[in-house]
Structure 1
Amino acid sequence: MTEVSEKAQSGTRLGLSFNGVPQGECLIDLVAVDGGDTLCASDDPDALCGLDVKFSRKG
């Protein structure tokens, strides 16, 4: 299922957690940046792009 929010703005956070994976529990935040056009992965609540990984939608 894909859900797109037109309300996401820079600074909006989406928390993800994965339980039962072989590596153990995984927690990560995706933070909207660039006016909501890009998501940055972060494992640090004080750093917007703490993992230096960005996701964007190309249209």
Structure 2
Amino acid sequence: MKTCGFIFNSSVANNGTIHSPNYPGYYPRSIDCHYTFYAQPSQKVRIFFTFFDIEGQPPV
């Protein structure tokens, strides 16, 4: 299985953009992506999605 990842550290930047491999095209099948967010204890991490879709089977 292929992997991908992203690490966001609030001490480096206050905001940013993440996306899946091949965005805006389809992402590869059977890929395991890990996104890690680090913030100072006094900070909160807020994540907003403009579009979210996951791999899976359609309902029957």
Q: TM-score, normalised by structure 1?
A: 0.28
Higher relative contact order (CA 8 A, sep 6+): 2
Choose 1 or 2 for highest CA Rg.
2
More strand by share: 1
